[in-house]
Amino acid sequence: MVVRPLPSRTSAGPGPVDDPPFDRRRSWLVLGMVVVFMMINYADKSVLGLAAVPLMDELGIGKSTYGLVSSAFYVLFSVTGLVVGLLSARWSARTLLLVMAALWAVAQLPALLASVPALIAGRLLLGAAEGPAASMSMHALYAWFPPGRRGMPSALQIGGAALGTAVSAPILTWLIVDFGWRSAFVALTVTSAAWCALWYLVGRDGPYGGRDARAPVAAGKPGAAVPPPSLSRLLRSRTVVGGVLSAFGSHWALALSSAWLPVYLHTELDMTAKRASGMVSAVSVLSLVLLLTVPALMDRRGRRGRCGPAADGLAQGGAVLVSAAALALLPFAPSRPLQLVLVALAFACHSVALPLHYVTTAAVVPAARRGAVFGVVAATGTLPGMFVPYLTGRLVDGAATEAAGYSAAFWVSALVLAVCGAIAAVTVRPARDARALGGED
């Protein structure tokens, strides 16, 4: 998709209004802070999975109970993502990110009590505070990057998640093995608090934010502004619906990997804790490589006129379909090397859909509605986290063997991802929908 720079527009009053100049230095400083924000975000998500085995041993709990604790993270995740998205037109993005990160620091502390109720309480608060994180940090980022410059920043923002897992997995595992699993939660509390202090000093709201965005001009009526389309109309756009489904499939795979991949590697593939964390890091590195290459390649080909109208849908849907195929084949893999290759493909390829679905959604949505639409998209796209960890635990506990339980979980996941990816591939067409909805494309 080619995301072109915004043309100059006419305000409700007389005379042209030029778009604000692009501040490269400040924009990339904010981007760096947002990337670190997302790194902490995904370290917070992954710490429970990395500490799962010693934690279950100490508390004497089974996989179903652990799955329930893990799923608690997502109980309020989508709700707060939706609510904060709807309120983002009134609240400063700088303030929203600051409050979220401060709550992350607090939410890790109940784990130190080492009881199931305390763990659930901590994960509930953490999920509530992290629900709006991806959408609102992307909204804050787009306020600093105009259309035409958002492809790579979007990939880097999502790449912060992969980088966070890749960097945090070995560090947190080292803390867990050498200092006990509680030390990992303490380390994350300190890290979130440090980010808050720095963001308070350098964080700012950008000039391309939706709160002061100009309304589109009515065709044939210079100087006459028209309101942007209603939220319900924007959400019914085929591009937005397809983007939500690609995100739904991607977050299904993400929820599965965050809660169960370290456990699966440790118990089914007989890896030590450190080797399992190394594999988790390797998956995250592959995800990061894909995030930094595929969106950039699409932008470059689009600027040269080499991308057809279906390119965005095929990229988003295809990424999810590759993960679906790898998950379906994983239980049949006859050798360890092939198993590891399929694990890497299953839990890395889907991530490409995440930055692309934000870019295509932003292309069809006027800036004034962007924060609200991002909130709704994030709330619906992340729903799998509410039940996938618990569902997987039930399947594993209820099967004749753990291997059979994991196979069932992988096949169910593959089916869901295949449906989501196929629909996204045929519905995401931002150039078509932007013309109808007054988007920024």
| Burial grade of 250 (CB within 10 A; 0-12, 13-18, 19 or more) | buried
Task: Give Dmax (Cα) for the chain.
Answer: 74
Per-residue pLDDT tens for 273-286? 788 888 888 888 89
* Residue 247 structure tokens: 């995100």
pLDDT of residue 13: 36
Phi, psi of 16 (to 5 degrees): -75, 155
pLDDT of residue 186: 94
Per-residue pLDDT tens for 183-227? 999 999 999 999 999 999 988 887 776 544 444 444 444 444 556
On average, the pLDDT of the chain sits at 82
**Which comes out higher in pLDDT, residue 247 or 220?**
247
* DSSP bridge partners of 350: none
Nearest alpha carbon to residue 186 among 178, 176, 197, 177: 176
Q: Which amino acid is at 349?
A: C
Per-residue pLDDT tens for 109-162? 998 888 899 999 999 999 999 888 888 888 888 888 876 677 778 778 877 877
Banded model confidence at residue 390, pLDDT cuts 50, 70, 90: confident
**Which comes out higher in pLDDT, residue 360 or 324?**
324
pLDDT of residue 407: 94
pLDDT of residue 361: 87
pLDDT of residue 193: 96
Q: How far is CA 250 from CA 25, 242, 413, 419, 423, in A?
A: 32, 12, 10, 12, 13
Confidence check: pLDDT of 100 > 80: yes
CA angle 239, 242, 247 (to 5 degrees): 120
* Residue 320 structure tokens: 């999810």
pLDDT of residue 440: 57
* DSSP bridge partners of 9: 17
- Helix extents (H) in 304-352: 311-329, 336-348
| Percentage of the chain lying above the pLDDT 70 cut | 86
